[in-house]
Structure 1
């Protein structure tokens, strides 16, 4: 069962307030001990309350006194850099909650205008919309068009990169063809097959700067067939 979120407010009932204080004090001191042990740091706690005659000190009076002396000896700027009082802490919490609320409102507004946009695409008239809705609708459409344009440019850049990689692979493929012809001999039937495979055709040829082409798929298939037919033959 999930724990119920505790509402932070002053507990009017003294008995309930005292019970809550005992539990929270024990938990707080336990956390201070845990962080000191796990992270090997110096930490201390001093708790005053109307329910105890003496303040609760952790871990001990000498260690707390030593930490307080060390803190007082620090430069004023370092001492107050991360120090906040209750008012500042609450103000920071309020500002953070406001930012989160604004973000949720923007997201809800975007979803609402997107629904209006899809309704207009299905035939709903834009003349029924208010000026604010029309303005937001224009903003959403422009943003979607911009995102589509960015995706289009990315795709074009990828296609261009693939073409460049293919052109760079042609010299290596041509060298493979020459190696095959040198192994099997240019005058043999198999060597002539490789020469024929190196002749450009309209479907599978990638021209390079020298003006010749190579059918990479066909040459590779023939090379595999030779290896299967002559297992003792190895390319030089």
Structure 2
């Protein structure tokens, strides 16, 4: 059974929007937990939303804070080793597409 294509647009009904937000948030948190468990990596998820006064953090505030501190303390070269600009990313994708033809 195939899924229908989702049309991304603002959900007008506020109660339906909140229900959809909560379902998707649960899905993101489940994926974060799976990634942490299956790949044995440190995961920090922060979700800001209109339905809470403070951000939701996964797994907890201390782990998230420590993860961000570790990233911030990395040397600039290590931190930006795999970072690319949007233009560089586009060039990489188009060059891979040309190689495949």
Q: Which residue of 2 aligns with 1:82?
A: 82
Q: SS of 2:5's equivalent?
A: coil
Q: Which residue of 1 aligns with 2:17?
A: 17
Question: For the residues of structure 1 that align with 2:25 and 2:69, how far apart are their CA atoms?
Answer: 24
> Alpha carbons of 1:82 and 1:9: their partners in 2 closer, same or farther (altered >3 Å)?
farther
The answer to whether the aligner puts 1:29 opposite 2:23 as a matched pair is: no
Question: For the residues of structure 2 that align with 1:74 and 1:31, how far apart are their CA atoms?
Answer: 26
Question: For the residues of structure 1 that align with 2:10 and 2:80, how far apart are their CA atoms?
Answer: 28
Deviates more, 1:63-72 or 1:6-15: 6-15
In the alignment, structure 1 segments of 5+ residues that lack a partner are: 104-236
Q: Which has the larger radius of gyration?
A: 1
Question: For the residues of structure 2 that align with 1:20 and 1:71, how far apart are their CA atoms?
Answer: 32
Q: Which residue of 2 aligns with 1:4?
A: 4
Map 1:122-137 onto structure 2 (within 5 A): none
Q: Which structure has more helix as a fraction of its residues?
A: 1
Q: SS of 1:52's equivalent?
A: coil
Question: For the residues of structure 2 that align with 1:58 and 1:35, how far apart are their CA atoms?
Answer: 12
Deviation at 1:8, TM superposition (A): 3.1
Paired residues, what number?
Answer: 94
Question: For the residues of structure 2 that align with 1:14 and 1:48, how far apart are their CA atoms?
Answer: 17
Deviation at 1:13, TM superposition (A): 3.6
> Alpha carbons of 1:23 and 1:82: their partners in 2 closer, same or farther (altered >3 Å)?
farther
TM-score (norm 1): 0.35
* Runs of 4+ more than 2 Å apart: 7-17, 80-85
Q: Which residue of 2 aligns with 1:69?
A: 69
In the alignment, structure 2 segments of 5+ residues that lack a partner are: none
Deviation at 1:76, TM superposition (A): 1.6
Does 1 or 2 have the higher relative contact order (CA < 8 Å, sep 6+)?
2
